[in-house]
A and B are shown apart, each in its own frame.
Chain A
């Protein structure tokens, strides 16, 4: 169940953004890619989840559970991603936002139950009908993570998810995220420019990695 990057490198107009990366992340582990803004760390994530824009080229191989996912389209990769903004859909309730991530074909009561259960885990009991805009920043972050996890991803990508949170909240959310990754037993990859965000897994610093 691991996520493996084999000599992964991204080029733009023939120029490489960073030296090839080799990295193996085990289930339940969160690896960290560090780097200043503009070093290509978000681009790396979009390559992994399959939303790389055309101007970039990907070299190397990305393996999920030992299989290359390079040719697999984004929607079938089964990878979850969290951005620094929560990106909750503003036109849906919290409940609908979470239910959106559940696989189809589940009866209504089961969906409701799963959503309720998920919310309960994050201390958001009874938030089903709430408007995302009325939640606090921390609550939104948690809801956003729950939504991502409800899709049962095989790997989780974290694109500076804590950078918008204030200091006190940050630690709390970090704990929550890393706990969930452990609980779900999936590999996770965190990119950040803030050393304070680092997880306990392997680490790559792109600033020095040229």
Chain B
């Protein structure tokens, strides 16, 4: 018995030694060599696909890992797949190694223990992340990140308008309504539960409600009907004035971009402040499109990279996530000519050489100067999402 116990203890020590050893970044790099990382990310944007294929090539050169971009239409598919793998008891050799994730998907995966980690503290580039000034890198839709996902980029709800059709963009939801009255049928927003639509609803709620503080608490603790009453009054007036009389909605910002190009609508939205500039540069939008935000500030959040609990190439996934966090990769990503997605890094922590990479990027005319984007509204508590989506569907989706 004693013999057995001591043997088990020895084994345990060995196990921990192995574990701490693996935590050493050099070892991770070594193990990552030759691995294939299946990176599941939205594949609807050529600009983003091109950026990912650039990063994959660099990772192959630098770390000897092969990155395969699995192009998804909806991240929910990936969550679903990981869930199926879990339900059949697969603890390793999962089909997903790294995934582009945030918000509700993160919340669901964290809750159901579908994520690997915590791991971001091991990434050499993680200390460069601007966690102080960008709190959404620590709280994803108010859910604590707990090092379970690595920040990748910043998102801000911005609007785009066509200067050929509108002289002055609206500065608030009320002014948007006025514009819709003046140009019936030329305004729309995506239908929740598309996260674009849900974010628009949340923005409207933040602007219109009399009790904004209630939004920081779980929805169960708030008087939902009273808090949201101004929102529904607003939408009841706006929807009938919208594109297709509010009976048809788009699925998201990409579809709205097409409508904006076709002049079916005059105002579109995006999570990428440089989206319009990028789209003009690649011909998707005419040069007359400009970006604007509402005066009261705009909802901002962060998008992340997560590793499923049963990933086949954990080390490779970590190494690639770290590469995507590197100043070189982040600077390229924030270039509007490439993608234009704002960085999560704190520029003051970078070496002068790395900082220069960011500073030489010019702000295109279609984008807003950084100062105009400084007023960031925090997301409401994550529990509001479902409640708002359901209430919206009951009212407008029958």
Please say whether the chains A and B touch (CB closer than 8 A): no
